[in-house]
Amino acid sequence: MFERLKEAINAALDAATGPPDSREMLSKMRDAVIEARAALEAMKQGITKTEQRLAVERKQLSDAERRGQMAAKIGDQETVDVAEVFTAKHRERVEVLQDKLEAQRAELALAERELEEMKGKLKETAGSSHADAAWREIEAAGGVRPETDVGDELLRSNLDRAAREAEAEARLDALKKKMGR
């Protein structure tokens, strides 16, 4: 169920090439998250229905066992045989419903993890999309991004070199004083 939603998110991520596409991509990702939440609710409702059916089957199993025991006490073999048939059917249904409930719970846990993953990707993509849009506006106004500014990198390199040279000079002076010069 969630594979389709994950594919939609991945397709949206792959299709993101520019500002107009990023809005569309974010929209598709939000839609996928909404669909995933709705699917989770449907799964939870399915689990509730299975739990209710399991409770009914357990009650019917208990009733069939009780009737069989009562019939055995009064020596009614025909009723005992019928009760054994019904007991076997209800026991099998209980086992099947227990397996089904376990599988539904495991599927729900998996879907919840996938939803959290999808929400994380959406948040990450939305954050980077807004930041990219802001940087494009700054660059359009004549500004530069620090990570793409060659002049800034050169200045940082010169400052680092000057700091290293000053530290070397200080060590050299300390060494000269130590040696008495």
DSSP character string of 122-139: HHHHHHHHHHHHHHHHHH
pLDDT at residue 155, rounded to an integer: 65
Contact 36, 5 (CB under 8 A): yes
Higher pLDDT, 8 or 86: 86
Residue type, 123: K
Confidence bin at 180 (pLDDT 50/70/90): confident
Higher pLDDT, 126 or 69: 69
Locate the domains of the chain by residue range.
Answer: 2-143, 145-181
Residue 78 has pLDDT above 50, yes or no: yes
pLDDT at residue 67, rounded to an integer: 94
Q: What residues contact 158, with CB distance under 8 A and at least 6 apart?
A: none
State the pTM of this model: 0.59
**Mean pLDDT for the chain overall:** 82
> Long-range contacts: 133-138, Cβ < 8 Å, 24+?
133/19, 133/22, 136/19
CATH architecture of 2-143: Orthogonal Bundle (1.10)
Helices (H), the chain: 2-15, 19-74, 77-140, 150-179
pLDDT at residue 104, rounded to an integer: 97
Q: 3-class DSSP state for residue 75?
A: coil
Rounded to an integer, the average pLDDT of 76-105 is 96
